Amino acid sequence: MIIGEKMDKLLQPQMVEYIMFQKSNPQLNILGMFNKQNLQGDTYFEFATKRTNTQDDIMEGILHEPVEVGEGSEYPQVQVRGIQEEVGNTTKLGFEVEFSEELVKSDKNLAYVQNTLADMGYAMNRAINRFGFQELMNSATKPAITPKGGSWADEGNEEIDEDVKTFQRWFKKQSGYSYTLTDMFTSFDSYWGAEDYYDAVRVNGFDPNNVRNTRLKGIEEFESGMLGMDANVNSAIWFYNVNPEENTLHDANGSFINVNRFENDEKHPKSLGFQLTTELGMAVLEPRSIIYVEGV
């Protein structure tokens, strides 16, 4: 297979791994929220969930319901396919990106290919964040609270502050431990609705780090509702695997992305590409330190 000289250097697995890490790492907000444990090749993990009182259905959904992953590519000579499969009770997710021989044989297309790889780094970030927040939502305590003024995204909603007060008080009064609602996560539409509200009613305007002493964050992968937690509690733990043959940055930089290059093989004739994957699992240790409210 003919590959341009500069193109070949760009498409070395170590370089692709570096691009993935560089582009995805700054935006991986979910990955940095909890402790991590390397499974060292094992695909199963055990954990104990602390329950302060009976919650028959609290564990339903943990590592059970797959989250849909699929990021496309606008480049006509690039094929992108989503990867998601259960491996033990971890989940392998990511993408396979395939470049045509016509594309990689000329160094004139270098920027074209490099942009695609940068896009894949961003897509990996979204896939991991979406997976993590979905796991938290599946496992969170779900109080019977209806936002007083409806969706926060509705224009002119004057009940947002009352909703926050209700969330905080419900969270605090749970039996067994005095949890504090330190962080709230919403969609950007809901976040902007809160921003508009507090800009209008506060002399000093909106402060996302002080919404009645709670931090409010808008999350791109979050579509609806409000996920709240006590960040002072070790609510969950990440489990992960890295393949030493496909990952060179883990020990020095903490990269979780495995990069496997294929070229002109039986499954991918006249093409070159990569399987970009990460193998993760999340265990929610204290589901009562996380709440999810619909309708926000």
| pLDDT at 27 (0 to 100) | 62
Rounded-to-integer distance, Cα 296 and Cα 190, Å: 7
pLDDT in tens, 154-175: 988 899 999 999 999 999 988 7
Mean pLDDT for 249-255 is 83
Rounded-to-integer distance, Cα 172 and Cα 161, Å: 17
Whether residue 73 lies inside any domain: the answer is: yes
| Residue 12 φ/ψ, nearest 5 degrees | -75, 140
| pLDDT at 264 (0 to 100) | 79
Whether residue 123 lies inside any domain: the answer is: yes
pLDDT in tens, 191-229: 999 999 999 998 889 999 999 999 999 998 888 899 999
Whether residue 18 lies inside any domain: the answer is: yes
Number of domains in the chain: 1
Contacting residues for 28 by C-beta, under 8 A, at least 6 apart: 125, 128, 129
pLDDT at 74 over 70: no
Mean pLDDT for 130-154 is 92
pTM of the full predicted structure?
0.82
Domain range holding 250? 5-140+244-289
DSSP state of 219: -
